[in-house]
Amino acid sequence: MHPLLQKQNALHDEASLLLEKTLLPILEQYGKVSVGGSYSYKLLNYPDLDIDVVSDDVSKDFFAKLSGELIRLDYTSKFKSADRVNYPHTHSEKRPFGYWVSPDINFGDNVWKLDIWLQKPEWYTGDTNRYAEELLTISDEHRTAILLLKEELIGKNLYGVGKEFISVDVYDGVLRGDTKTIDELRDFLTSAKS
């Protein structure tokens, strides 16, 4: 098995424990929880979880209460949040609408960076799981290609929100353009936009 697949599997196992033992018991009190992104696709390169919490009761007070609960956890070492309801993103086409909560949680061998979005049903798009059907059935060859490309982009500081590439760029590039290098990915994305 490729070392990046082994790393992914170890990260996925640790994330599952974090969810089961710590996060889900808290988050499920606030609404319907959906864990998406790299965790759900089994394409983790680093300790990162994308979680949506959807409820009709979402409000600024709701946001403050959940933030307080997560800050009080013994494992929380850092915390960021944003009100993207009253103060929308500058790049709103690429980010959800709602309240963003982002604790860093020390768990197992890693510091897990969480992106939790509190959303009302009418705001929720389900976008964090839009590739599930395709990515859950890909071959180990494609899975490895995605992990290798993401790893290279992370190493060159080109990957993540506010950077040149995000995960959906890599997924599209590998699945639809059979890209394997950064230059191939750039070319694919440029031609896809034109």
In this structure, what CATH number is given to the domain that contains residue 59? Answer: 3.30.460.10
DSSP one-letter code for 96? -
Residues 75 and 167 in one domain: no
Q: How far is CA 82 from each of CA 16, 30, 96, 116, rounded to the nearest angstrom?
A: 26, 17, 12, 11
Q: Tell me the pLDDT tens digit for each residue of 159-188.
A: 987 899 988 899 999 999 999 999 999 999
The number of folded domains in the chain is 2
Structural domain of residue 166, as residue ranges? 138-193
Provide the 3-class DSSP secondary structure of residue 90.
Answer: coil
Q: Tell me the pLDDT tens digit for each residue of 16-66.
A: 999 999 999 999 999 999 999 899 999 999 999 999 999 999 999 999 999
Residues 29 and 121 in one domain: yes
